[in-house]
Amino acid sequence: MAARRSVVAASTSRAFSTSRPARQILGEGDQALFDKHVVKGKRITVVDFHADWCPPCKMLDPILQKVLTEEIEGENEVDYMKINTDNENELAAKYKVSALPTVVAFKHGKELSRFVGLVNEDACKNFVANAKDH
């Protein structure tokens, strides 16, 4: 009887699959994470090029996180990554980051749009909406 139960259990088991979450706040990135999510990724990734010593960068981060969290709750596929330009100066140079903060939206490794400097919440919302329209 025990053998029969295991056969029944094995024949009724289901395979479950999961989908990728609607968004990811990837946090502080490096070249490898950038390559994985921005260059090779298929979703929009908003990248905040910043530095620890930059006061406007520190002020912008919570605004971006709030806007992206609100946008994401609507099932939009937008990821968020921060790149510290002091640690990843080659990435900053490659994408011509000359002032901080610089925020760039990428999809399929291609730049969709960017803004430089501290902006308000409405400007961040418009930036994300425009990136999604590309």
- Domain-wise residue ranges, the chain: 23-133
Domain 23-133 CATH class label:
alpha beta
Half-sphere exposure of 77 (CA within 13 A, CB side): 12
Is the pLDDT at 129 greater than 80? The verdict is yes
Rounded average pLDDT over 21-34: 78
pLDDT per residue over 57-107, tens digit each? Answer: 999 999 999 998 876 555 567 899 999 999 999 999 999 999 999 999 999
pLDDT of residue 71: 61
Catalytic residues: 54, 57
pTM of the model: 0.80
